[in-house]
Amino acid sequence: MQKEYNKLMKRCINLAKKGYGMVSPNPLVGAVIFDDDFRIISEGYHEKYGQNHAERNAILSAKEDLKGKSIIVNLEPCSHYGKTPPCADLIIEKGIKRVISGMVDPNPIVAGRGLKKLKDAGIDVIEGVLEKECRELNKIFIKNQTEKLPYITIKTAVTMDGKIASGTYQSKWITDEVSRKEVHKLRNIYDGILTGSSTIIKDNPMLTCRIKNGRNPIRIIADTNLSCPLTSNVFNDDGTKVIILAGEKVSAKKIKEFPSDIQIIKCPLKDDKIDIKSAIDILYETGVKSILVEAGAKINKSIIETNLADELIEFIAPKILGDKTGVNFVEGFQRNEISKCNNLKILSTKLLKNDIMIISRFKKGCR
- What is the residue type of 362? F
Helix, strand, or coil here: 195? strand
Helix %, strand %, coil % for the chain, to 5? 30, 25, 50
> Are the C-beta atoms of 117 and 90 separated by less than 8 Å?
no
Using the 8-state DSSP alphabet, how is residue 320 labeled? -
End-to-end CA distance of the chain: 29
- Distance (Å, whole) CA 45 – CA 35: 19
Q: What are phi and psi of 98, to 5 degrees?
A: -140, 135
> Are the C-beta atoms of 140 and 114 separated by less than 8 Å?
no
Task: Tell which phi-psi region holds residue 297, choosing left (phi > 0), alpha (psi between -120 and 50) or beta.
Answer: alpha
Show the beta-strand stretches assigned E in 162-310.
163-165, 192-196, 218-222, 242-247, 262-267, 269-270, 273-274, 290-293
Options 55, 294, 311, 314, the catalytic residue? 55
Is residue 331 among the annotated active site residues? Answer: no
Residue 265 has, within 13 A of its CA and on its CB side, a CA count of 21
Active centre residues (catalytic)? 55
